[in-house]
Amino acid sequence: MLDRVSQTRQHVCIPAVPGRTVAQALFEAGFFLGLPLCAGAGVCGQCAVRFLGPAPRPCPEDYVKFPEAELDGGWRLACRHSASQAWELEVPVQPAIPGTASGLVHSCLGLDLGTTRIKWASGIPGRPEKEEAAINPQMAAGSEIMSRLAYAESGLAARERLHQLAVDFVETVIQAVQAKDIAVSGHAAMIALLLNQPTHGLAYAPYHAPWPGGSLVCLRAGLPDVYIPPVLGPFIGADISAGLGHLCWQPDIRYPYILADLGTNGEFVLAVDNTHFWATSVPMGPAIEGVGLLCGSPAGAGVLSHFQLTPHGLHWNNIEPATALSGTGYISLLAILRRIGLVSVDGHVGAPTSPLARKLAVLGESAWGKTVRITDAVWMAERDIEEFLKVKAGVNVAIQALLRAAGLGLSDIAAVYMAGALGEYAETHDLFTLGFLPAAFDTRVQVVGNTSLAGAFRASYDRTLQDWLARLPQHVRLVSLVDQPDFATHYVQAMRFAWHDV
């Protein structure tokens, strides 16, 4: 529970905003920027506000998050209450978005506009010298792609708000490093919001991207033009084309390969050779980034990201007191709990059956199912485990859909390149334990980091790469998962911590 006694608070009056939650109304007033909110799920607790005067009736999520004294004092989750009337509030003062000024002047800049986090690299041609990251300031409008698009579709002012936040952020980074050559990659939706383009074709079927990318754009008067790689489809964005550009320039690339970019939106490419590509995508949700989970948080001080199993129990290396789990922390913990039988193949928490298992954790019950408590502050519930079952199922069906489309089998794949938040930081043996990947890939997996960012940085200055990217769309075939026979059945069947063959 947050220490609300010591919080600095700001007095705020919000007008009635029909159709908005209190959290959304506060977001539109400039609050909650740069916070990893769960955007309406009612689990993260970071949108807690105090109603002054008569408060709305507590909802079930309020009863879980606040003790009785705080409920009586007017504390509520802003995401779970309507802004249909004016409210007078106390809002905890949030820390400023981390600054980007490094004191270094770099001529080249690449940015990866992620749904959850924005990452950027600056340097000179051929040598990125500094990488940084921050929470996307749009997070309070939706923690994953479809909820963010729903907010954008709620009105032109909402879309304009998201556009301005993105451009303001990019401008701040550009000015901090004084870059002249700039490239920006990102999901098709993130690029559309950056450019303030219509989002209807991304939010509703029949889906289509509003702009093909692959050219220079002017984001704002006074800024250098920005190169954006091709947007390959409605859910295969400039992040994937940038990633392919990075991989195809590597001297030791092995075909056929699969590129798995596992972030809030999972994007997958099967490359048969340098001119034949199949691509698909599947929503993953923000759990991979540690967002929207009961004890989750993006990586940072006090956030556990890796566990080891020892004869004395669980071990972790954090110096700071443990306060939360990152997405990869959940994966690491889940894999250990699977190996010792505390979590079943279908994601349920069971009773420990060995002395070591009994040492590891304290089992309990909660409103979100059975729990495994690691410390007083760190715990995992079955509700969180289900989020990772969904992610795992998406990976299974995506990989197998691409193999069918290309007429290949698991044994034909020479390499699997893991990128994105999950692919970059999770231990590959944990992914095998949980069934994200088949045993056939055991010796073929290679972690390649943030390929989208690496490709964007190179594309900022390399005109030869830009020319290659301009030709890329004609070589890519898109595979729609929802149009696959029995997609829903296969997805549900794959919601187990074991590889599922279709």
Residue 20 in any domain: the answer is yes
Q: Does one domain contain both 170 and 218? A: yes
* Domain end residue (candidates: 191, 216, 249): 249
Residue 478 in any domain: the answer is no
Q: Does one domain contain both 235 and 158? A: yes
Q: Does one domain contain both 324 and 239? A: no
Residue 385 in any domain: the answer is no
Whole domain around residue 24: which residue ranges?
A: 9-92
Residue 28 backbone phi and psi in degrees, to 5 = -70, -20
Is 103's pLDDT higher than 90? no
Q: Does one domain contain both 151 and 203? A: yes
User: pLDDT tens digits for 337-382?
Assistant: 999 999 999 999 998 888 878 777 678 888 888 999 888 888 999 9
The number of folded domains in the chain is: 3
- Residue 91: the pLDDT is 93
Query: Which percentage of the chain shows pLDDT scores above 70?
Result: 96
CATH number, domain containing residue 57: 3.10.20.30
Distances (CA, A) of 406 to 253, 282, 415, 488: 19, 18, 15, 21
Is 472's pLDDT higher than 60? yes
Distances (CA, A) of 452 to 108, 211, 261, 448, 459: 15, 19, 9, 10, 10
Q: Which helix (H) or strand (E) holds 296?
A: none
User: pLDDT tens digits for 395-426?
Assistant: 999 999 999 999 999 999 999 999 988 877 89
Q: Which helix (H) or strand (E) holds 468?
A: helix 463-471
* Domain end residue (candidates: 39, 61, 92): 92
Residue 215 in any domain: the answer is yes
Token pair for residue 331? Answer: 């994966």
Q: Does one domain contain both 245 and 114? A: yes
Q: What is the mean pLDDT of the chain?
A: 91
Q: Does one domain contain both 87 and 162? A: no
User: pLDDT tens digits for 197-216?
Assistant: 999 999 998 999 999 999 99
User: pLDDT tens digits for 67-95?
Assistant: 999 999 999 999 999 999 999 999 988 66
Residue 17 in any domain: the answer is yes
CATH number, domain containing residue 131: 3.30.420.480
User: pLDDT tens digits for 223-279?
Assistant: 999 999 999 999 999 999 999 999 998 999 999 999 999 988 899 999 999 999 999
Q: Does one domain contain both 359 and 327? A: yes
Q: Does one domain contain both 112 and 214? A: yes
- Residue 6: the pLDDT is 43
* Domain end residue (candidates: 364, 380, 396): 380
Residue 228 in any domain: the answer is yes
Distance CA 475, CA 392 (A): 28
Q: Does one domain contain both 129 and 242? A: yes
